[in-house]
Structure 1
């Protein structure tokens, strides 16, 4: 029994990762509808692990279940994204002021400086590593402020924005900007310039927000056009 349960969990995990990747890479675009049997046939999985994977994606906000008509990739809600970015900025600005008010500089600041201000451009991270480092940069700074509730809420906001924020690192110019802007924020923090650090951080996040909105719309248009071409062909 335990072996069968473990196997089902493994298949559910595989289905979950495959569907999430399809959503992230716009092979399934916002508004797309599908059934559990569609997924099972395509991914060679039975109904139970498929359903488990879909309910997990639903809890994370990626899909919706439709009454008597299967499932749907959650339509993109730009207003909700805007509101989450506003909340993120509020939390991170507060963190800048709290860090600068501490008696001693948090050790994480030195660690982040080493990552985001490398001695040579060839030492910069690439691809998905940059994305992970960027997320850690913002989360680590909020955590360094020492407010556990602020850290928890910020982590929840970060999780909900991950689907769009990852797109900010698909363009070289945005990666370059991220390195430069992170270094400037850290420099202001090291000097104890709370307002300057908060303002630099706000400009950095707003630039990223604008970029991911543009890239998201472009990706959705491209994916929709490709779908129409496949259907007409």
Structure 2
């Protein structure tokens, strides 16, 4: 192979896939952390320069985020972080409530009873053993609700619930930026678990519904405030920083 041919050789597919995955994860984090705000517009060239990568893996990462509903593309205006659709998020929360209430009812009626030992070991702990790192507790909270559904043994219900969880993650993690919400999560999860263990289906369903609805209301309030604050501070926008430099 001539030296001039080496530059034209494409990188191995596995290497490009790894690069695409890295860019995908970083872009998702920027969206989740409000470095890229809902409604922000950008071009593939701008993002490729920001990521210090070529346009191909950037486009592949953006296409994946588009399928997941985080960004959208226009032929004329380039890419845009998808604006928050609170009506859609509230509909997804309603789906969560229906699925999880059905799961809780089933858990209270199962014979033999469900295996909740892992959940008990995580949530029924003394206060001095509780974690207070928001992102960690957020991930734990997500698994709590998924494990309740998984414990029913209904794989299709768990699959649908997981899909809803993925689509809500961008707003749900905001619920764990305030310490009182972290403390409330431990308390409310504990109450739900104890009631399931006692097989009080109606009470467990009510506790669960209240827990999710309170989180939904808090998330909307905090999200609107955080977007407002981020727009007042242009340093929160990575592309604005790059443009300023």
User: TM-score with structure 2 length normalisation?
Assistant: 0.89
Could you say which structure has the greater relative contact order, defined with CA pairs below 8 angstroms and 6 or more residues apart? 2
The question of 1:27 aligning with 2:35 is answered: yes
Match of 1:146 in 2: 153
What is the distance in 2 between the residues matched to 1:22 and 1:228? 13
Question: Higher mean Cα deviation, 29-38 or 147-156?
Answer: 147-156
Match of 2:3 in 1: none
- 1:228–1:14 CA distance, 2 compared to 1 (3 A): closer
For 1:212, which of 214, 219, 233 is the aligned residue?
219
What secondary structure is seen at the aligned counterpart in 1 of 2:72? strand
What are the residue-to-residue correspondences of 1:1-233 with 2, within 5 Å?
4-107=12-115, 109-118=116-125, 120-127=126-133, 128-227=135-234
Q: CA deviation at 1:10?
A: 2.0
- Whose radius of gyration is greater, 1 or 2? 2
What is the distance in 1 between the residues matched to 2:226 and 2:146? 27
Unaligned runs of at least 5 residues, structure 1: none
Q: CA deviation at 1:216?
A: 0.7
Q: CA deviation at 1:228?
A: 9.2
What is the distance in 2 between the residues matched to 1:29 and 1:10? 26
Q: CA deviation at 1:146?
A: 2.1
* Number of residue equivalences: 230
Q: CA deviation at 1:67?
A: 2.0
- 1:183–1:28 CA distance, 2 compared to 1 (3 A): same
CA contact (8 A) 2:132 2:179 kept: no
What is the distance in 2 between the residues matched to 1:95 and 1:124? 26
- 1:73–1:98 CA distance, 2 compared to 1 (3 A): same
What is the distance in 2 between the residues matched to 1:17 and 1:112? 28
Q: Give 4+ residue runs of structure 1 displaced > 4 Å after superposition.
A: 228-231
Deviations 1:104-160 (A, max 9, x none): 2211x2221221111x32211232221111111101111112222211111110110
- 1:228–1:131 CA distance, 2 compared to 1 (3 A): closer
What is the distance in 2 between the residues matched to 1:46 and 1:2? 12
What secondary structure is seen at the aligned counterpart in 1 of 2:87? helix
Supply the RMSD in Å over aligned alpha carbons: 1.9
User: TM-score with structure 1 length normalisation?
Assistant: 0.93
